[in-house]
Amino acid sequence: MSEIVTYVVTDIETNGLSPIRHSMLSLASVAIDQDGNTLSEFEANLSPLTDRTTDQVTDEFWTRQPEAHAAATTGAEPADNVMARYRRWVEGLPRPRLFAARPLAFDGGFVDHYLDRFTGCRTFWGDEHTTPLFDGAGLDMASFAAALMGPEHVTKTRASFETSWYGGHDHSHKAIEDARGYAAVLGRLLKLSTGARGAIQTA
């Protein structure tokens, strides 16, 4: 029998592409079970870090998305408060917990850096000095989709899923809406993978 996993589907919004030069503005995660059922949600906006800069291209993007930018910045809280609360929220979820994002390298990189800086734990792994908040190495949803449906999901940055897969959630660059949409997508992918495993076992 397969181990029961909690998938923590995460989306972030930032003012640039580098976790060491730019700031995370918004963090949202939706925890689902292996059947795609939502277990819990987390959402918060973070104040930009005073020792970071902003990226001009990203700033230009936000000027074209005023509603999404307002959603990512209104009610922003100090990053240390948000990350401490996020750690407590994750620790309250059943283990094993798997961090999932699309793309994993971007969202996971920012979340890992912020957890390390503000809470002393890491996203994926630990040694005698750090504590892993999640199990395993994380799930890159694009790679997962590529394994099930074809390599375009990793070779094409903007390759999208069927609209119906997002569960009625528009990809609006509002972190919680995007996280909910990707959680719905992951639920579909998990069902596909169950069918694929069954086909392999009976082949």
Every domain of the chain and the residues it spans:
6-202
Query: Could you write out the DSSP letters of every residue in 73-120?
Result: HTT-B-HHHHHHHHHHHHHTSPSSEEEEETTHHHHHHHHHHHHHHHHS
Which pLDDT score is estimated for 150?
83
Which residues touch 18 (CB under 8 Å, ≥6 apart)? 55
Class for the domain spanning 6-202: alpha beta
pLDDT (tens digit, 9 = 90+) per residue, 41-83?
999 999 999 999 999 999 999 999 999 999 999 999 999 999 9
State the average pLDDT for the chain.
Answer: 90
Which pLDDT score is estimated for 202?
42
Is 161 in contact with 185 (CB distance < 8 Å)? yes
pLDDT category at 140 given cuts 50, 70, 90 is: very high
pLDDT (tens digit, 9 = 90+) per residue, 109-138?
999 999 999 999 999 876 666 678 999 889
